[in-house]
Chain A
C-alpha cells in the first residue's frame, strides 16, 4: 500500500495551481457567486486551452491521458479554489457518455466542441413528478418521419439558460415497463418551442424549469437506440457517480482554520486556542480525511481498470452528508456571527461558511439522493433485498 498521491499527481497539482493563479480571478469567482450561474465561458475556454477539459482523454482526442490520481489532483485544486465548473463538468460527462454510446457523427460534431470549451450541455432527467424515480419520466418524444416531436417539462435544468444542448430523457413507448420505453436525445436549446423559467435556490445557485412544446429534433440527435434510453442513462450515471464533496469541505475547513488563527476571542486569545473551536475543527479534519480516502478508493479502482459501483455511492453519500454536517457544525461554532453573509465586514471567513451551509444541503440531494445511495449500498453492497416496487408490479 502507498497512500502518497505520487510525483506525477503532485507535479500536476502544482501546474494547475499556477494556472488557477492566472485564470481564476476574483471576478470569475464572484460572478458565479453573485449570479448563481456557476459557469464562466472565459474560464472554461482557458481550461480547454490548457488541455484540462481533456486531461483524462486519450491522445486521439488531443487528450493528456492523465491517470485517476492526477484527475483527483485536478479536481482538488478546482474545489480548493472554488472554481465555477458546474457547466463544464456536466458537459464533459456527456462527452464521455457520447464517446461510448454516441453515433460517429455525434462524436465528431459534439465531442470536439465540448473539449474545446465551445459548447455547454445541461441535464434533462428530472421532472415535476419524477426525481429519484427518473425512469418514470413523462416528457414524450413522438416520431414524425426523420424527426421527433418533444412535449413536456423538465425540472432543475441547471444552466439551461447558457446551454447549447439539453441531454434529455424522454418517453417513447407507453406500453412497456417504464425502464423499457425511454429514449435519450441531445436537444438543441435554440430549437423552437423551448421556454426557460429561472428558479432561484436557497444555496444561491440559479436553476431552471424548462418547458418543451412541440419541439422538433432530428433523429440524428437521438443518443442510443429507440427505447434504449435507460441503458444510455446508466452509462452517463457511471461518469457522474462517485463525485466527492470532500474537496469543498477541505476548502471550507482551511478557511475557518485561518480565521481561527487570525482572530481573537473575547478573552484576547486567538480563537484557535478555544477548546470548543479546536474540538470542532479536529473533528471536521477527521471527517475530511476519512471522506477523501473513500474518493481515492474509487480512483484506485479506476486505476486498475475496475469501475467503482457501490464504492462510488459510498463516497457520494459520505462526502455530501459529512460536508453538510461540517457546515452546520461550523456555523454553530461561529455563534451569532455564523449567520453573517459574504459581503458583511464582520462575517467570519468572509461569510463562506454561511454560504457553504446553504449550498451543502443540495449536495445530499442531487446526483442521486442519500436515500438512493443507501439503497444501492444496501442492495448491491450488503446483499439486502430490493425495497422498491418492481416495474412489472407498477405497470401492470
Chain B
C-alpha cells in the first residue's frame, strides 16, 4: 500500500491548482451564472490539455488513468470553475473506447470540441437533464438499443434549464441534430455503463474538492467573525462540527481515490466502491457546505458571499445523477447481486 502521489500526479494537480487560483475566483464563478459556463476559460483549459490528457495515448491523447483524472477533479471541484471538465473528459474517453465509429468525433474533441454524456437513457428520442448539453458540440446518449452521438452546432444547442447549481444543464431532442450510431446492443450498454462509472468516480472527487474549499472558506470566516468579543471559531459547537466535516471529507477523499484506482486496476469491487465513493463524497460535501454557510449566519444567505455558490453546487452536482438512496440500492446490487437473480 502506498497513499502518496507520484511526481507526475503532483505536477499535474499543482499545474491546474495554480491555474484556477489565478484565473477563477468566486467573483468569476458568480459572473458566469446563471449559465455556469465561461467559454474563454474553457478554451484555455482545453489548450492546456485538460480533456485530451484523459484520452488514451494510442488515440492521440495523454493517456492518463482515472485516478490521475480524479486528482485533477479534486482541484477542479475546489475551484467550482464554470467549465464542463468531468462530462467532457468522460465523453472523450467514451469516444475513444467506441473505436472506429467514434474516431472522427474523437479527433474533433482532441482538436477542441466539447462532448458530453446523458446520464440516463433517452425516452422518446429525448435525453433529459443532460449536464453541459447547453454548451456542448456533441451529446452522447443511450437511445434504446443504440449508443448515439448528436453533433449540435452553436446555433441548435438547447437552452439551459434554470437549475439549483447554475450549470449548463439542458434537455436534448436527439432528432434535431445529425445523429450518429456509435455502438449497438450489449456493446452499447457496456460502453455506456463504463462511462457512467467514470462520471460518478470523477464527480465524487470533484465533490471532495468542493467540500474542502467550502471548509476552508468557513474556517477563514469563523476566525474573522467576532461575536461576544471572541472569534466564533473559538466556540466548541462550531469547532466540533467542522472537525466532523474535515474527518468525513478526508475519508471521502480516500474512498474516492480508491474507487478511481480500483477502476484503473480492474478490481472486482470497483462498481461498489465507485457508488460508495459517490454517495459518501456527496454527503460530505453537502454537510460541509451547509455547516460552513450556517456559520456565516445571515451573510451566508446573501448572494454576495461565495459560500452559497458551494452550497448550491454540492447538492446539484450529486443529485443530477440520482437520489442517493437509489444509489445505495445499486451498491447492494453490486455487493449481493440483484434481487431475484439467484
Is there a chain B Cβ closer than 8 Å to A5's Cβ?
yes
B243 to A: closest C-beta gap in Å: 4
Measured CA separation A375–B247 after assembly (Å): 12
Is there a chain B Cβ closer than 8 Å to A371's Cβ?
yes
* A: number of interface residues (CB 8 Å): 49
Measured CA separation A382–B235 after assembly (Å): 13
Main secondary structure of the interface of B (DSSP, over half): helix
Is there a chain B Cβ closer than 8 Å to A71's Cβ?
no
Is there a chain B Cβ closer than 8 Å to A199's Cβ?
no
Measured CA separation A92–B223 after assembly (Å): 42
Residues of B within 8 A of A278 (CB): 328-329, 332, 336, 339
Given contacts A1-B261, A297-B3, A314-B250, contact A285 B255 (CB under 8 A): no
Is there a chain A Cβ closer than 8 Å to B315's Cβ?
no
User: Can you list 17 residue pairs at the A/B interface with Cβ under 8 Å?
Assistant: A3-B257, A9-B1, A279-B328, A279-B332, A282-B276, A286-B279, A290-B280, A293-B251, A300-B1, A318-B248, A371-B240, A375-B239, A378-B240, A378-B243, A382-B246, A385-B234, A387-B235
Residues of A within 8 A of B252 (CB): 290
Which residue on A lies nearest to B332, using beta carbons? Answer: A278
Is there a chain A Cβ closer than 8 Å to B227's Cβ?
no
Residues of B within 8 A of A261 (CB): 336
| Interface set of A (CB-CB < 8 Å, partner B) | 1-6, 9, 69, 257, 261, 272-273, 275, 278-279, 281-283, 285-287, 289-291, 293-294, 296-297, 299-300, 303-304, 311, 314, 317-318, 371, 373-375, 377-379, 381-385, 387
Contact with A along B234-274 (1 / 0, CB 8 A): 11101110111011101110110110011000000000110
- Whether A381 lies near B246 (C-beta < 8 A) is yes
Task: State which of A3, A281, A294 has its C-beta within 8 Å of the C-beta of B261.
Answer: A3
B341 to A: closest C-beta gap in Å: 10
Is there a chain A Cβ closer than 8 Å to B60's Cβ?
no
- Whether B1 lies near A3 (C-beta < 8 A) is yes
Task: State which of B67, B246, B251, B279 has its C-beta within 8 Å of the C-beta of A1.
Answer: B67
Task: State which of B233, B258, B336, B339 has its C-beta within 8 Å of the C-beta of A385.
Answer: B233
Residues of B within 8 A of A384 (CB): 219, 222-223, 233-234, 238-239, 242
Given contacts A273-B340, A317-B243, A385-B231, contact A296 B329 (CB under 8 A): no
> Which of B215, B248, B273, B328 has the most chain A CB within a 10 Å cutoff?
B328
Contact with A along B275-294 (1 / 0, CB 8 A): 01001100000000000000
- Whether B251 lies near A294 (C-beta < 8 A) is yes
Measured CA separation A286–B223 after assembly (Å): 34
- Whether A289 lies near B234 (C-beta < 8 A) is no
Residues of B within 8 A of A294 (CB): 247, 250-251, 254
- Whether B234 lies near A293 (C-beta < 8 A) is no
B126 to A: closest C-beta gap in Å: 30
- Whether A293 lies near B243 (C-beta < 8 A) is no
- Whether B328 lies near A283 (C-beta < 8 A) is yes
Task: State which of B219, B222, B258, B336 has its C-beta within 8 Å of the C-beta of A293.
Answer: B258
Given contacts A1-B3, A299-B1, contact A289 B276 (CB under 8 A): yes
Given contacts A3-B261, A290-B251, contact A374 B240 (CB under 8 A): yes
Residues of B within 8 A of A377 (CB): 243, 246-247
- Whether A383 lies near B3 (C-beta < 8 A) is no
- Whether B273 lies near A289 (C-beta < 8 A) is yes
- Whether B251 lies near A291 (C-beta < 8 A) is yes
Residues of A within 8 A of B255 (CB): 286, 289-290, 293
- Whether B254 lies near A297 (C-beta < 8 A) is yes
Measured CA separation A248–B140 after assembly (Å): 45
Which residue on B lies nearest to A318, using beta carbons? Answer: B247
Given contacts A290-B254, A296-B3, contact A314 B247 (CB under 8 A): yes
- Whether B248 lies near A285 (C-beta < 8 A) is no
A251 to B: closest C-beta gap in Å: 17
